[in-house]
């Protein structure tokens, strides 16, 4: 039965303090203030679909957690989801499991490049992409996305020039893109994949936000671009964790269509990674893929309405704050540079607005003054965040006006 947005929030939104939640219970440790409104790390304040709770409860009631394997029913549920939602046809052979997408990206950088090899990312981008390159002593090559009044585009000429100049071996792509909210079109992906193909650059496409589609632009997987033409130079990493709020269940997918790349992956993994699958993670994911579609659609409605509220209120009251277009992900990207001096952004956000956010410079050295706000939450937090921003700016402007007349 479809719930209204208000009914959905009433039923699923929960208080998370006291549950070892990184987002809420680590505020003091991470931000030095336990009382901030937590709008940072990308998980949700919503309980998972009922079918997931039921499946987990049954498994827990059995009470044995011995070694587990992935049943055919898992592949069936996941492959149906990918086919029905995204028109992606997967094959069982292509799939490897892991316990997190970030973990996979670190592993793929290690497997497919050598120390000092150049690895490219399109910035601003999810900061573990930077870390996966730097922690493994590879050379980090960045190409800045072009910000056209909150709509970001790839600078293809810059990407190609830097690939050639630095002999880039691997590109880590974020699709949909965290934090700028783009859902890349097939034409954009084709152009990027064609450049990589031309210069023998392996592409790792992180499609973890594939189900969080907020605007009109449908998600296109790199796997299906040009009817799959680029598959052999491509590894896709994805997971049910963003879509169904399952991050700590530690179950994710590595999709490798090329037999040659699979052999290289398997050889290295045999040597260094003998991780078993997460039994509870797979029980949860299978139930989510089979029965979680309506729940996800309702979450998307909440995110759309939170985004509209944030964008419209700020446009009406503080139009100098630029909110990027949100085509995908549940993460809003705000440019505060016109209203707060860049070096005072942290004080403004934490001390005046009482918010815990992700700061722009975590995503690109050029993006201090931007902040990322998580909208997969109870609207009451979004309303409070917007009110705090508007009130704090009004106060600052009044103080400025008084000191200017003194």
Ligand X SMILES: Cc1ncc(COP(=O)(O)O)c(C=O)c1O
Q: Which residues bind ligand X (CB under 6 A)?
A: 42, 100-102, 126, 174, 178, 206, 208, 239, 241, 247, 252
| CA 340/CA 335 separation, integer angstroms | 10
Closer CB to ligand X, residue 100 or residue 233?
100
Sign of CA dihedral 191, 194, 198, 204: positive
Minimum distance, C-beta of residue 314 to ligand X, in the bound complex (Å): 23
The distance of Cα 257 from the centroid of its chain, to the nearest Å, equals 23
Closer CB to ligand X, residue 51 or residue 121?
121
Closer CB to ligand X, residue 160 or residue 206?
206
Neighbours of 13 (CB within 10 A): 18
Minimum distance, C-beta of residue 280 to ligand X, in the bound complex (Å): 15
Minimum distance, C-beta of residue 72 to ligand X, in the bound complex (Å): 24
Task: Give, rounded to a whole angstrom, the gap between the first and last alpha carbons of the chain.
Answer: 62
Minimum distance, C-beta of residue 21 to ligand X, in the bound complex (Å): 14
| CA 70/CA 252 separation, integer angstroms | 12
Minimum distance, C-beta of residue 166 to ligand X, in the bound complex (Å): 23
H/E stretch holding 205 reads strand 202-206
Minimum distance, C-beta of residue 197 to ligand X, in the bound complex (Å): 23
Minimum distance, C-beta of residue 239 to ligand X, in the bound complex (Å): 5
**For the stretch 289-317, what's the b/e string if a residue is b when 16 or more beta carbons lie within 10 angstroms of its beta carbon?**
bbbbbebbebbbbbbbebbeebbebbeee
Query: If 0-12 CB within 10 Å is exposed, 13-18 middle and 19+ buried, where does residue 218 land?
Result: middle
Alpha helices in 87-212 (DSSP H): 101-112, 127-134, 156-166, 186-198
Closer CB to ligand X, residue 292 or residue 328?
328
Closer CB to ligand X, residue 239 or residue 261?
239
Query: If 0-12 CB within 10 Å is exposed, 13-18 middle and 19+ buried, where does residue 186 land?
Result: middle
Minimum distance, C-beta of residue 102 to ligand X, in the bound complex (Å): 3
The vertex-379 CA angle with 378 and 381, nearest 5°, equals 75
Closer CB to ligand X, residue 48 or residue 314?
48
CA dihedral 242, 246, 249, 251 (to 10 degrees): -40
Closer CB to ligand X, residue 180 or residue 349?
180
Closer CB to ligand X, residue 99 or residue 392?
99
| CA 136/CA 154 separation, integer angstroms | 26
């Amino acid at each position: 039965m479809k719930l209204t947005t208000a009914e959905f929030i009433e039923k699923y939104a929960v208080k998370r303090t006291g549950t070892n939640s990184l987002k809420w219970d680590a505020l003091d440790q991470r931000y030095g203030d336990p009382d901030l409104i937590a709008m940072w790390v990308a998980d949700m304040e919503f309980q998972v679909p009922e079918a997931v709770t039921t499946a987990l409860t049954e498994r827990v009631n059995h009470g044995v957690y011995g070694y587990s394997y992935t049943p055919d029913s898992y592949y069936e549920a996941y492959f149906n989801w990918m086919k029905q939602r995204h028109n992606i046809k997967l094959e069982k052979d292509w799939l490897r499991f892991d316990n997190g997408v970030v973990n996979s990206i670190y592993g793929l950088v290690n497997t497919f490049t050598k120390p000092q090899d150049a690895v490219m990312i399109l910035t601003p981008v999810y900061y573990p992409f930077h870390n996966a390159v730097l922690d493994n002593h590879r050379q980090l090559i960045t190409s800045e996305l072009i910000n056209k009044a909150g709509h970001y585009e790839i600078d293809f000429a810059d990407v190609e020039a830097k690939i050639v100049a630095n002999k880039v071996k691997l590109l880590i792509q974020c699709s949909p893109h965290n934090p700028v909210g783009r859902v890349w079109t097939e034409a954009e992906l084709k152009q990027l994949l064609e450049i990589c193909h031309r210069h023998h650059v392996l592409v790792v496409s992180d499609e973890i936000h594939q189900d969080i589609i907020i605007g009109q632009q449908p998600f296109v997987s790199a796997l299906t671009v040009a009817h799959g033409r680029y598959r052999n130079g491509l590894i896709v990493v994805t997971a049910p964790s963003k879509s169904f709020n399952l991050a700590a269940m530690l179950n994710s997918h590595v999709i490798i269509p090329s037999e040659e790349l699979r052999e290289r992956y398997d050889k290295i993994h045999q040597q260094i990674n003998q991780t078993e699958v997460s039994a509870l993670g797979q029980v949860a994911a299978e139930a989510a893929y089979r029965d979680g579609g309506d729940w996800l659609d309702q979450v998307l409605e909440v995110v759309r309405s939170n985004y509209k509220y944030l964008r419209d209120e700020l446009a009406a009251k503080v139009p100098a704050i630029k909110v990027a277009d949100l085509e995908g992900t549940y993460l809003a990207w705000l440019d505060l540079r016109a209203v707060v001096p860049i070096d005072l952004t942290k004080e403004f956000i934490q001390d005046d607005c009482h918010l815990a956010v992700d700061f722009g410079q975590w995503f690109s050295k050029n993006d201090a003054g931007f902040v990322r706000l998580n909208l997969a939450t109870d609207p009451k937090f979004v309303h409070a965040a917007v009110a705090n921003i508007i009130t704090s700016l009004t106060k600052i402007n009044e103080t400025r006006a008084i000191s200017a007349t003194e």
